[in-house]
Amino acid sequence: MNETEFIAALRHLPLHEGARGLADDVAVLSLGDHTLVITHDMLVEGRHFLKGQDMADVAWKLVATNLSDLAAKGAEPLGVVLGYMLSAGDDAFVEGLDDVLSHYGVPLLGGDTVAGAPDGKGGQAMGLTAIGKAAHTPVPARAGARIGDAIFVTGVLGKAMLGFEALRDGTGADATAYSRPMARLAEGFDLAPLATAMMDISDGLLLDAFRMAEASEASFAIQGADVPVADEARRDDCLRWGDDYELLFTLPEGTFPPVQATRIGAVEARGFAPLFLDGEPIINSDGLGYMHK
């Protein structure tokens, strides 16, 4: 099976009503007066990280990407649970885990440590579950953008791309944006009561805007020139490359964002395509995100 087929097969299973995780990165679970937000990401050697990569950075990214999913739901992290296969670089992994958990003030709740395949041939794999408490309900989702809403994005896009290239080409330029991405937890927390839709743009602005428009059954009209980018000469790459972990969100017209963010477009009635970039329709999401993974 491929991923789409597997997720489709899971739809027949007993699913929790808050099991948006199969399509929306997170699950939402009510418990008394509280609402939990739960996210899980898995990393595989050779696919999400490379043998020989700095495992401290891998640990950072594993945690930060999960926290970014919580940020997009306006959730405050309560802790993380680690599933870890022992391999080379364990010392560095623990160091990076310490860095990222200390940075965010998020505790390790527990987890499972396993040895790899006895023949030593299997690559390493690891998973992390992050558990957060929603600051506001209903928890913001991808679906929810309404006609007339303004579209915003936090930060400057393309920094991760430049970081990746610096690492790949050994230029010595700052690669932090790629190797140690930041989750927009404070911003997500402040935006949750206001945003009609919100998500992180880990797969690139255009692809994720396409998905949000589809989920909201609307069309997103984005002005490419309004998007803050890290490299003006490669604006289009910056709009397509992922790994920036900025927040894409929509606000009712006239609502001022309480965090630093840039207005990049407007939500329109569903037209010919889910996404219009500078007036040009984007009908198909194939190849919309930069294929860097």
Choice between 52 and 254, CB closer to a second copy: 52
233 binds a second copy, rule: CB under 8 A: no
Query: Quick check: helix, strand or coil at residue 249?
Result: strand
47 binds a second copy, rule: CB under 8 A: yes
Residues 103-132 that bind a second copy (CB under 8 A): 105-119, 121-123, 125, 127, 129, 131
Is 111 annotated to bind a ligand? Reply is: yes
Angle ∠(182,87,51) on CA atoms, nearest 5? 65
20 binds a second copy, rule: CB under 8 A: yes
Choice between 43 and 167, CB closer to a second copy: 43
CA distances from 152 to 21, 105, 132 (A): 24, 28, 24
Choice between 7 and 225, CB closer to a second copy: 7
Is 200 annotated to bind a ligand? Reply is: yes
- Find all residues with CB under 8 Å of 75, minimum gap 6, and list them: 37, 132, 133, 134, 135, 139, 188, 189, 192
Choice between 113 and 284, CB closer to a second copy: 113
* β-sheet with 275-277: strand ranges across: 197-200, 247-251, 150-153, 262-268, 219-222, 275-277, 280-282
Q: How many whole angstroms separate alpha carbon 20 and alpha carbon 28?
A: 7
291 binds a second copy, rule: CB under 8 A: no
Q: How many whole angstroms separate alpha carbon 63 and alpha carbon 209?
A: 24
CB 104 within 8 A of CB 63: yes
Query: CB of residue 91 vs a second copy: minimum separation in angstroms?
Result: 7
Q: How many residues lie near a second copy (CB under 8 A)? A: 77
CB 38 within 8 A of CB 129: yes
212 binds a second copy, rule: CB under 8 A: no
Query: CB of residue 36 vs a second copy: minimum separation in angstroms?
Result: 7
Residues 61-100 that bind a second copy (CB under 8 A): 78-79, 81-86, 90-91, 94, 97-98
Q: What distance lies between CA 82 and its chain's CA centroid? A: 18
9 binds a second copy, rule: CB under 8 A: yes
Query: CB of residue 28 vs a second copy: minimum separation in angstroms?
Result: 9
Query: What residues does 125 pair with on adjacent strands?
Result: 44
Q: How is residue 172 annotated by DSSP?
A: -
> Of all helices (H) and strands (E), which one includes residue 212?
helix 205-216
> Which one of 16, 174, 193, 253 is in contact with a second copy (CB under 8 A)?
16
Choice between 78 and 273, CB closer to a second copy: 78
CB 73 within 8 A of CB 18: no
46 binds a second copy, rule: CB under 8 A: yes
Query: CB of residue 106 vs a second copy: minimum separation in angstroms?
Result: 7
Q: What is the 3-state secondary structure (H, E, C) of 98-125?
A: HHHHHHHCCCEEEEEEECCCCCCCCCCE
Choice between 9 and 225, CB closer to a second copy: 9
18 binds a second copy, rule: CB under 8 A: yes
15 binds a second copy, rule: CB under 8 A: yes
Binding site for Mg(2+), by residue number, is 25, 39, 41, 69, 112, 200, 203
- Known binding-site residues equal 25, 39, 41, 48, 69, 111-112, 142, 200, 202-203, 243, 290
Binding-site annotation: residue ranges for substrate: 48, 243, 290
